[in-house]
Amino acid sequence: MAAAAATAATKGNGGGSGRAGAGDSSGARKKKGPGPVATAYLVIYNVVMTAGWLVIAVGLVRAYLAKGSYHSLYYSIERPLKFFQTGALLEILHCAIGIVPSSVVLTSFQVMSRVFLIWAVTHSVKEVQSEDSVLLFVIAWTITEIIRYSFYTFSLLNHLPYIIKWARYTLFIVLYPMGVTGELLTIYAALPFVRQAGLYSISLPNKYNFSFDYHAFLILIMISYIPLFPQLYFHMIHQRRKVLSHTEEHKKFE
């Protein structure tokens, strides 16, 4: 789950996936790039996803202005959030068919972890939807994805404004911890309701001789943040220095 928040610094040539570790693809892979048809498709995909997350951002602002409060704003953007976050599953396909040079396994893990949080936690446990922690990760995701998909779109068009590149490799410093905090607090808030309802748990005895404790599974997910968060965060810090310092050096020679 923690890896899902690492979308602020990603890998690939602007194809809308390969989320962890931008700028560390080999030179050969960068030069190859997708073909003209794939490029056109990826531009459309990233434009649509940028627009979708902008709709979510506008929805949050409008709901806040109408209510005069930031509490329970989730309900105002629930449908577009589910739609566009689930739409990120296409990024796995992009990697699988080779139009984006990124790891299918890594991309699958990171996309699915967010989809899991949306559907298997926030959607399934209605009681947590009014928690402020949900708004925390939604805001972090929204800003991150607007920047990320804009970055991919302009990169594919070979016209990347420096401000977008800077935002992509800088704002994660705040957005990543913010998103992770919201995710953890949301899962934690869901635990008592999951235990009480026995949500998604399978008890013995049964004909398959198999048991599953969803409550314990969520606790394991929370524990996984401990080793993953520092590794990903400092990796992104390293990528930021590498990418932005390279940009500054390039500007000096122009």
CA distance 179 to 181: 5
Grouping H, G, I as helix, E, B as strand and the rest as coil, residue 254 is coil
Q: Please report, in tens digits, the pLDDT of each residue of the chain (254 residues total).
A: 554 445 444 444 455 554 544 334 333 344 567 899 999 999 999 999 999 999 999 999 999 999 999 999 999 999 999 999 999 999 999 999 999 998 999 899 999 999 999 999 999 999 999 999 999 999 999 999 999 999 999 999 999 999 999 999 999 999 999 999 999 999 999 999 999 999 999 999 998 899 999 999 999 999 999 999 999 999 999 999 999 987 655 555 45
Please tell me which residue in 74, 176, 214, 225 is annotated as part of the active site: 176
Among 135, 134, 228, residue whose Cα is nearest residue 190: 134
Please tell me which residue in 45, 78, 183, 225 is annotated as part of the active site: 183
Q: Active-site residue 162, yes or no? A: no
- pLDDT for residue 53: 98
- pLDDT for residue 47: 98
Side chain identity at 11, as an amino acid letter? K
Grouping H, G, I as helix, E, B as strand and the rest as coil, residue 212 is strand
- pLDDT for residue 245: 85
**Alpha helix positions (H), the chain:** 27-32, 36-67, 74-87, 90-96, 104-116, 132-156, 162-168, 172-197, 214-253
C-alpha dihedral sign at 43, 44, 45, 48: positive
Q: Active-site residue 248, yes or no? A: no
- Claim: this prediction has a pTM higher than 0.85: yes
CA distance 162 to 166: 6
